[in-house]
Amino acid sequence: MTADPRAVALRSVGMQPTHDLRATLPDLLDVMLDKGVYLDLDLVITVADVPLIGVSLRAAVAGIETMLEHGLMQDWDEQTRLSARHALAPDAMLADDEEVVVRMAGGHLQEEPYRSWRPGTVILTSRRLLVWRSDPPEVLWQARLEDVSAVGLRTEKSVGGPDRTRVHVAVRDGYARLSAADPRRLHDALRAQISGWRVDAGRPGPTTPGGDDAGR
């Protein structure tokens, strides 16, 4: 008879049966979540000495991190991540291997045919930076991470309001100015993504545009 892989996985962490009369329910929960437990149970329910119900239970119970660490519930984890990714950007047509890193309200400064801010949602993924408008569905602006050469923050005067911090992005075919609900977070996340991509590709990291006040 082949051993149950769930039992093998949980036993591999060195879990051995113990008997401790001082153990409490919180102690059991701590062990279950951290190490995991494997239940191998055969139960027969009888009424008036007549067996009526039989229960054969083989189950591994552990915290999700423990399950995933030992190769269990991986299909569930992949489906959950996929659902979460498309929930963050349901209409942005993400690739199968593209994950959302940061998503927030923002906009893109359009220069042609007239100069104006176009509001939408700024989405930083593992492959690109884009500004998405859901109604009507449209990508207002986008750039692949490998095309971004510089990123910085600048404080600019707004018409009839307080000064605002914008995210300036230099790309291969031009320059973009983005607004964001949290420009510092977007800036830092974008720099981290670009640096990670360039390290993997063996290329120098992103530079900072002249006049950047990110460090002030």
**Mean pLDDT to the nearest integer, 191-212:** 60
pTM: 0.55
How far is it, in rounded angstroms, from Cα 184 to Cα 190? 10
**Mean pLDDT to the nearest integer, 85-113:** 77
What local confidence, expressed as pLDDT, does residue 111 receive?
Answer: 85
Is 92:123 a contact under the CB 8 Å cutoff?
A: yes
User: CB count, 10 Å around CB of 173?
Assistant: 7
Q: With cut-offs at 50, 70 and 90, classify the pLDDT of residue 142.
A: very high
| Per-residue pLDDT reduced to its tens digit, 20-66 | 667 677 777 777 777 777 778 788 888 888 888 888 888 777 777 77
Is 194:145 a contact under the CB 8 Å cutoff?
A: yes
What local confidence, expressed as pLDDT, does residue 163 receive?
Answer: 86
Percentage of the chain modeled with pLDDT above 90: 29
> At residue 187, does pLDDT exceed 50?
yes
> At residue 199, does pLDDT exceed 60?
no
Greater confidence (22 vs 130) lies with 130
> At residue 214, does pLDDT exceed 50?
no
Q: With cut-offs at 50, 70 and 90, classify the pLDDT of residue 206.
A: low
How far is it, in rounded angstroms, from Cα 123 to Cα 131? 6
